[in-house]
A and B are shown apart, each in its own frame.
Chain A
Amino acid sequence: MVTATATRQLTYGQAVTEALRIAMREDPTVILMGEDIAGGAMVDHLVNDDAWGGPMGVTKGLVQEFGRDRVLDTPITEAGFIGAAVGAAATGLRPVAELMFVDFFGCCMDQIFDQGAKLRYMFGGKARCPVVIRTQIGAGVSAAGQHSGCHYSVFTHMPGIKAVIPSTPADAKGLLLSAIRDDDLVMFFENKVLYGMKGEVPEGDEGIPFGVADIKRDGDDVTVVAISRMVTQSLLAAEQLAAEGIEVEVIDPRTLSPLDEETILTSVAKTHRLVVVDEDNPRCSAATDIAALVADKGFDFLDAPIKLVTAPHTPVPFSPPLEAAYVPSPERIAETVRQIM
């Protein structure tokens, strides 16, 4: 994207921190809630230096600027504090709650989908729920079965929830700013493997609109729709394939709900081939949803079967070789593309 805005290198994690800081400066009703997000509660000497700022350090430094009334350490009580975030959102705050790992949604799903997501509809449009739930996804660090899932497909399924999944530092900043300013419940999925990824990030406070996919690489031969870390994996595959004369178009939907159907369909109309790459489990998933979209609305564009490259229908394994086999690799993506050329 060509833009006049100045940029500089930040990591994905730093981009998230920057978006939180900008949003908190511009709106005093924005508060953060989560387990250890400030850190060092009741340990005075930690407040100004070594407080955790979350287990990944993403919220580090914010309590020093905004104080403990706006950066709230919660007990390990997901139903309690996620529900409180929903209640606070319905009554005038803009909470950004951190669900440390998405796998913990089982502890608080009622508050997310039965309360927050349905409230506006059940109340006849008279209420709004401007809450953001930031959460970590992704395999790759041997965090095993209960700290490694993706599960954004679950939330994409549910009306009343917006599902936002950045794959780059710039997208993380811009999408998080839009999420916090949004008047609906937003699930914001940060891939733990990407926190250290560096990239050019715009200065300033501009958000990236939802429902606008980003074409991460142009190509005429095959469309690869990839989500979160799978964008990086697909770009690596695209380089391998380019050496073989296959030009891959890599599309990052960036938000699964809402979904930019038009960009996907336009690309498939050009390339006539679709591969969807998704680290989430394969059944009733974002991948099957996008495949169904193209089968339904873009069938006549297709010159080959739609292919999916996904994690298997298993929990995430612990042992490194098993985990490596679980996550779609550039090689697997490239091989799948070759099959339909």
Chain B
Amino acid sequence: MSSPSTAIEPAALDREQLLTMYERMVEIRTFEDLAGKNFAAGLVPGFVHLYAGEEAVAVGVCAHLTDRDYITSTHRGHGHCIAKGVDIPGMVAELMGKSTGVCKGKGGSMHIADVEKGMLGANGIVGGGIPLACGAALTAKTLGTGGVAVCFFGDGASNQGTFHEGLNLAAIWKLPVVFVCENNGYAESTPVGYHCAASDIANRASAYEIPGVVVDGFDLFAVHETAAEAIGRARRGDGPTLIEAKTYRYYGHFQGDMITYRTEEELNRYRQRDPIVAVKGYLLAHGLADEAGIDAIDARVTEKLDAAWVAAKAAAFPAVEETLTDVYVTY
């Protein structure tokens, strides 16, 4: 991590906003821990890629967005969904492939989406969402909706052609889009120091003469403030920004990954600075919540997630006829 954390005072945030962001982060962590556990128990088909550790990025960015704004996401998309307000019970059911899933069980973890919430999908293609975000921003600009698009992608995606094509297009058209690179240190198992020629991915912004900013992705307030500036700039019509959030994933690339490419010591170093613990510490230190208040939030989230899993387990799988629907609007 080239940008040491300096705790930024969240001057612009009131107590309610801080508590909401804390709760969102806990929702993501709890969602992911349970997804991992239930995947291991055989309840989740396919692949899951967990976002635990990276919560401050999705929450700090999406705090500035409403339903008129769009996001695109990655393999590791659960956190972005929750931060953007996608229904959690519907997400759990989607992971299980149930008919009550947000995508009726047809997308699963890697394609989880809710366009009505402005969530244009997790994406099974690395870098696949970058042009889509430019398109969503083009819609906002053309129709004058005032909306912006935020494009989440990983360090691995920054080597795809779509990254460079998307940044150039957004720059020449001054699109209201913010590119958020979640650099968690590894593209699958390959370390960023190997796969990327740039010491900071944010440096790549200079090739397109747009702002490129590195932020500590474990620091919610730093992410929040950086995103505020970039999103504000996009909304004003001043064009795109590339934010590189240096972050870390606690789990492997996917569940089942033996994680032989990094050390326990490295993981523990990050866990010492856990972003949720840091926010909790801030809330307690500033008298914005007491232990009982925090415990109540944590318990509420656990109860919500437990109930979501109970409901998803009880829900029906889609009828086999559903295989043939939703390919076209008309055919």
* Contact indicator B325/A80 (Cβ below 8 Å): no
Residues of B within 8 A of A145 (CB): none
| Interface segment, one of B17-25, B131-139, B238-246 | B131-139
B170 shortest CB reach to chain A, Å: 9
Partner of A124, one of B70, B72, B101, B136: B101
| Interface segment, one of B52-60, B102-110, B212-220, B263-271 | B102-110
State the CA gap A132–B75 with chains docked (Å): 27
Which one of A79, A87, A92, A258 has the greatest number of beta carbons of chain B within 10 Å?
A87
* Contact indicator B329/A183 (Cβ below 8 Å): yes
* Contact indicator A86/B168 (Cβ below 8 Å): no
Residues of B within 8 A of A31 (CB): 142
Given the known A-B contacts A75-B168, A79-B161, A79-B165, are A120 and B133 also in contact in the complex, defined by CB atoms under 8 Å?
A: no
* Contact indicator A125/B326 (Cβ below 8 Å): yes
* Contact indicator A90/B331 (Cβ below 8 Å): no
| Interface segment, one of A109-117, A196-204, A268-276, A295-303 | A109-117
* Contact indicator B135/A84 (Cβ below 8 Å): yes
* Contact indicator B139/A91 (Cβ below 8 Å): yes
Tell me whether B82 is interfacial, beta carbon within 8 Å. no
Residues of A within 8 A of B130 (CB): 83
Tell me whether A69 is interfacial, beta carbon within 8 Å. yes
Residues of A within 8 A of B138 (CB): 84, 87-88, 93
* Contact indicator A93/B142 (Cβ below 8 Å): yes
Tell me whether B115 is interfacial, beta carbon within 8 Å. yes
Given the known A-B contacts A92-B143, A110-B125, are A122 and B113 also in contact in the complex, defined by CB atoms under 8 Å?
A: yes
Tell me whether A327 is interfacial, beta carbon within 8 Å. no
Residues of B within 8 A of A90 (CB): 115, 120, 132, 135-136
What is the 8 Å Cβ interface bit string for chain A, positions 123-141, against chain B (1 contact, 0 not)? Answer: 1111110000000000000
28 contacts between A and B (CB under 8 A): A29-B142, A77-B165, A79-B131, A80-B134, A84-B131, A85-B135, A87-B120, A87-B133, A87-B134, A88-B136, A89-B135, A90-B115, A91-B70, A91-B115, A93-B142, A114-B124, A115-B128, A115-B132, A120-B326, A120-B327, A122-B103, A122-B121, A123-B106, A123-B115, A126-B102, A126-B113, A184-B330, A211-B331
User: Other CB < 8 Å A-B pairs besides A80-B162, A87-B72, A118-B111, 18 of them?
Assistant: A79-B162, A80-B134, A81-B169, A84-B132, A86-B131, A87-B136, A91-B70, A91-B136, A111-B128, A122-B107, A122-B113, A124-B102, A127-B113, A127-B115, A160-B327, A182-B330, A184-B329, A258-B331
